[in-house]
Amino acid sequence: MMGALGSGLIVGFEFWPRVERPNIALGVGETQFGGYIKLSTDGHIVVIVPQVEFGQAATTILPQIVADELVADWRSIGVEIAPVSAFYASTTFAASMGWQTMFGAPLALQITDEGAMLAGYAQPLRDAAAYLRIALVKAAARLWGVAPESCTTLEGFVHSGAKRTRFADLVGAIVLANPWDQTTAPPQRSDQESHLLGRSLPRLDAPAKIDGSANYAADIRLPDMVFACVRSAPFGSGDVAGFDGAAARRIPGAVDIFPLAEGLVCIGRTSWVAGQMANAAAPRFHAALPLPDSKSLQSRLDSALKSAGTTIINNGDNAGIKGNPGALDARYHVDLLLQPPLETGVATAHYIKGQLELWAASPAPDMALNAVARATGVSHDNIILHSVFGGGGFEQKLDPLVMTVAAQAALRLKRPVHVFRSRGEENSQSLNAGGAVSRMTGQALPDGRIIGWQAHIAAPPGAEVLRARITDNRAPR
């Protein structure tokens, strides 16, 4: 629960094309109502948020919708990150990227994306809260022998005249066997009745972040844990060709060193030792692909700019602008841009008695766990992911490499392994943003009015690269 934030429990499974009920863990005194809300006999209300908290306030914004519809006391609201389940998948993000279908059905993803968060989850959360509010009102009405229309909810209580009772006291009285018609949208409170929306409320993740009790991926510490760093070919361009293992093992505190498809893994008793081992090993890599450089990238962009391309918007007839007296013509270039999150790639894994546990912050957890299952051979039913705070997002967090390395190392050593990426390693593996060239042609009247404008833009296929990373965990280079 967040408020005194704890990590949600996420159980991985093969995502496509199954449809599952939410597999929510229940604490003492908690009762689940649908896939988004839990009520407890001690009065707290837990909202299940299908987004990982990377600092974008998902764990406050989405619970605020539920609390408003329920007319709950904000002080009673807690949060858990949703488990990996088709129940929490949304087609909104895929649609916003222009992705239509996969496996013959609309492409649905359980993915953390700030831009698609409200579009994908505001309505389901509000519906869930409305269903529960109606159930609470009906339960109280039966208890008091009054008409449900005479009952209202306010600050965590159901009221009818002088009578009132806490939500928590009605948990056992709610009829769970379809007390309402869920084939139609539940009646919701009007915007004029808004209780919390539009108000600035205390963030639920703030106290834990302020007092240091919040667990980020980099904070995980387990008994008998060792630390690993991984050195990979630049931009993932090849596998390990050779390394000086003897030099690495001479570093005091060295535990193990071995190559994987993801790169050279160096394990030490501390993170500093692991880093020193990687430096001493001086790994070499096969060049499966030519390394990109600024000159080759610029050449490809220039060639693309000269091609016919695809017309996105065509309004009016601007064909005659180029070459007209007074027409302006300019070329613009945007360099590649690193997107380094504050927290580099980090994951912890522990394998015990046939079960693999992972601690990480993944914006696409279902696809990350698929990658772990493929790399280890461990079935999805035996993989557990504890979702923790992420120290910043960006697309690099979609890379499952640290999770797959941690999982394979944990299986090899039979002890907890904490894998981290150095800042240099993170940058060398990053798929940079930007990298575009454009040619702008326009003509304006003396009074400043624009009478024609053409824009030709050449850029890498960012949406397709992102789709490949999410759906296959492989990106075209």
Q: What is the mean pLDDT of the chain?
A: 83
Tell me what the mean pLDDT of segment 98-123 comes to: 74
Question: Nearest CA to 5 among 74, 112, 79?
Answer: 79
**Per-residue pLDDT at 202 exceeds 50:** yes
Beta strands in 379-427 (DSSP E): 383-387, 417-420
Residue 379 CA: distances (Å) to CA of 354, 375, 449, 452: 10, 11, 64, 59
Write down the pLDDT at residue 21.
55
- Flag whether pLDDT at 470 surpasses 90: no
Residue 106's pLDDT is what? 62
Task: Note the pLDDT tens digit of each residue in 264-309.
Answer: 999 999 999 999 999 999 999 987 777 777 788 888 888 888 888 8
Model pLDDT, residue 332: 92
Burial 345-357 (b: 16+ CB within 10 A, else e): bbbbbbbeeeebb
- The DSSP output letter for 88 is G
Res 218: pLDDT = 92
Looking at residue 91, its pLDDT comes to 77
pLDDT in tens, 223-242: 999 999 999 987 666 789 99
Q: Give the tens place of pLDDT for each residue, 247-268.
A: 999 999 999 999 999 999 999 9
Residue with more model confidence, 228 or 343: 228
Predicted confidence (pLDDT) at residue 31 exceeds the cutoff of 50: yes
pLDDT of residue 476: 37
Predicted local confidence at residue 270, as pLDDT: 97
Give the tens place of pLDDT for each residue, 304-317.
888 888 888 788 76
Spatial distance between the Cα atoms of 214 and 48, rounded to a whole number of angstroms: 18
Collapsing DSSP to helix, strand or coil, 221 comes out as coil
Q: In what order do the strands lie in the sheet with 163-166?
A: 152-154, 157-160, 163-166
Average pLDDT over residues 43-56: 92
DSSP string of 263-285?
EEEEEESSHHHHHHHHHHH--EE
Q: Which of 60, 10, 86 is CA-nearest to residue 360?
A: 10
d(CA 325, CA 435): 32
pTM exceeding the 0.85 threshold for the entire prediction: no
Closest Cα partner for 363 from 52, 48, 122, 14?
52
